[in-house]
Structure formats: C-alpha cells, structure tokens
Amino acid sequence: MRSGDQNLVILTLYIIGVSYVFNRMVESIDDQVRFDFKKGMVDDQLKEQNLQDQIGIAFKFKPSYAIDDLKDLSVSIENKSENIAVYVDWDNSSLVDDKQSRRVIRKSPDLTRDLAVSQSPSLIAPQKTLSETVTAEDVFERDPVAGTYSAKKPIMNISGLSKAGPPQKKIYNDFMNQRIELGFSLQLVLRISEVRVGLTPGVNVPPMCIINCPFTVKKLPWTYALPWNKKK
C-alpha cells in the first residue's frame, strides 16, 4: 500500500472514530426545555378588569430544565394598592392543559396534611407581595415512613407522550424535533375586598377574579446542555 493511500485510510478511520464519539456524546446529553411565562397576556387581562394598578403577577424559572424536571411553579403576587385586600383562593385555582384541569396545591415544608383538606386563602396586604410555590395535586406522592408528601412527578409529563397513542406520539416527535411548542396555564382565582371587610367563609364573600397565566414549553437544541450555556 502506498504511503498516500495509507494516510487516507488512517484519516478516514480517524474521522469515523471522532464522529462516533461525538454522536455518543450528543446522545448522552440530557434533553433540555425552556418554560416561558406569557406576561403580556396576563397584563392584558388585568387591564381588562381594571386591576393593572392593583395587582402584579410574576413567575421565576431557570434558563433551562431537563425534560421532566419541572415539578412546581414559583409565583409572586403583588398587591400594589393602598387600601385593598387581595386573597388568593387556592382551592378554586387550577392547572390546565389541553386535556384536563388539575387542582392546585400550595406547597409547604414537610407537607403532612391530607391533600384533600381545604386550603385557606392567602391574604396579600396592601403594598405587600406574596411568594409561594405551587403545583398540581397529582404530582405528589406520600412517603409511608415519614408521612410527608413531596412532588415526584413533572407538572408536564412530556416523555409520557412517547408512550401514549399515535396522536400523542406525533406531538412528542414534533416537539422533540422543535417543530411545535407545548403549553399549559395556571388559572389563579383572586378575591378582592376592602381591608376592613376581610374574608369570612360563606359571609359576604367577594366575587372571584380569574386570571389565566399561560406558559409555553420549548425544546432547546442539544447545545444548551453544554456547561458554558447553562447560565445563559
């Protein structure tokens, strides 16, 4: 074999080896997704109900998550007013996707109570902000030894779509190939009253105000999982 042919064979084998290692490296990287809060849509709803100067709603997300890693939502609700009490009605709030409406649970450290027990509304005093972590009731699992509940399942079971019927599998494949985005929403039920009136169950309960907080879920390119991209 001539020297030139030998070098070509070595170069070809080298390229094949590098390509194989690179492909295996890409396959080993966790799929990453990004959650985006559609704040503008919420601001429009508040404006329609003349609440833009009284209430502010925000959510906190990391730049990216492993595909089934998000198990709860961090929400902040601001009472911008000077003389209005804002109550968050957790029991009537819900997490909604295309298929179902799921009961919202406000998380607390070492949650031990029965999840079926009613949740007390949270008061947000004037000029104050309430920060809570919430999730859907069906993501919790009970530790039989400790007797506590913790969130074990994702808010959106994206990988579960791949194990469902053909329509769901197509949605999963389209999502993973970045052809579509997925979505869900948190429907917050708020009650607003004068500070001196308060909120007594069954007595002069203020009418509810429903604010739909939508989110989109986007599949990110595999490069987002690289260490130097994780904080971007």
Question: CA distances (Å), 140 to each of 67, 76, 109, 114, 118, in order?
Answer: 18, 22, 13, 11, 16
List pLDDT tens digits, range 20-34: 444 444 444 458 899
Question: CA distances (Å), 128 to each of 16, 55, 86, 197, in order?
Answer: 61, 10, 10, 18
Domain for residue 201, yes or no?
Answer: yes
What pLDDT sits at residue 164? Answer: 86
Domain for residue 16, yes or no?
Answer: no
Domain for residue 171, yes or no?
Answer: yes
Domain count across the chain: 1
> How far is 222 from 178, CA to CA, in rounded Å?
11
Domain for residue 148, yes or no?
Answer: yes
Domain for residue 14, yes or no?
Answer: no
Q: Residue 225: exposed, middle, or buried by beta-carbon count in 10 A (0-12, 13-18, 19+)?
A: middle
Please give the residue that has the higher pLDDT: either 39 or 119. 39
Domain for residue 17, yes or no?
Answer: no
Q: Residue 197 is part of which domain span? A: 31-229
Q: Which two tokens stand for residue 85?
A: 């009490």
Poorest-confidence range of 19-28, 79-88, 133-142, 211-220?
Answer: 19-28
Domain for residue 220, yes or no?
Answer: yes
Domain for residue 10, yes or no?
Answer: no
Instruction: Give yes or no for residue 175 having a pLDDT over 50.
Output: yes
Determine if the pTM surpasses 0.95. no
Rounded to the nearest 5°, which phi and psi values hold at 78?
-105, 135
> How far is 69 from 62, CA to CA, in rounded Å?
11
91-128 per-residue burial string, b: 16 or more CB within 10 A, e: under 16: ebbbbbbeeeebbbbbbeeebeeeeeeebebebbeeee
Q: Which two tokens stand for residue 187?
A: 């429907």
Instruction: Please tell me the number of Cα atoms within 13 Å of 47 on its side-chain side.
Output: 6
Rg for the chain, CA atoms, rounded = 24
Name the most confidently modeled range: 166-175, 192-201, 222-231. Answer: 166-175
Share of the chain above pLDDT 90, in %: 57
Query: What mean pLDDT value characterizes the chain?
Result: 83
What pLDDT sits at residue 170? Answer: 94
